[in-house]
Structure 1
């Protein structure tokens, strides 16, 4: 069963460019994973510090594997000082 996620990250204003660069690297690497069906990154037009991922993973095992990747672990370690707050993760069911 597919796993649908929306993840919202808010960078500190002084770190927006650095966070954007790191997130683009995540896109490049994550989309190479076999279980990754979608990994889209958006930036809020009204608040450049807000980034939004729309992700679809083939299944829970694929998502679990993704979360264990060294580049994901590295990002979250760096994010502790770059982000305003802990990322918000919504797991959703597609209705239409």
Structure 2
């Protein structure tokens, strides 16, 4: 992906420069962190802890750390997908412009 993407619209970016240039890296990092079933379980634990207020009461330090890491990965995932979305919109606009010039 080209560096031409406007990163200033992302006020607080959690992505590294490398991840901004290649948002697919974020997916690889997420699934290196945990496999899909584990990620789903962590999301479930996160939801339960939030809804029941049991975050400080029933979760171990390891579970709390996993939830915090998952949050960081989810934030990166949102930002990476935002970059992919912007790039897709640019490509779509370019295709439409090219089609207009054909006729």
Q: What TM bracket, shorter-length normalisation?
A: 0.3 to 0.5
Q: Whose Rg is larger?
A: 2
* TM-score (ref. length: structure 2): 0.31
* TM-score (ref. length: structure 1): 0.32
Say which structure is richer in strand.
Answer: 1
Say which structure is richer in helix.
Answer: 2
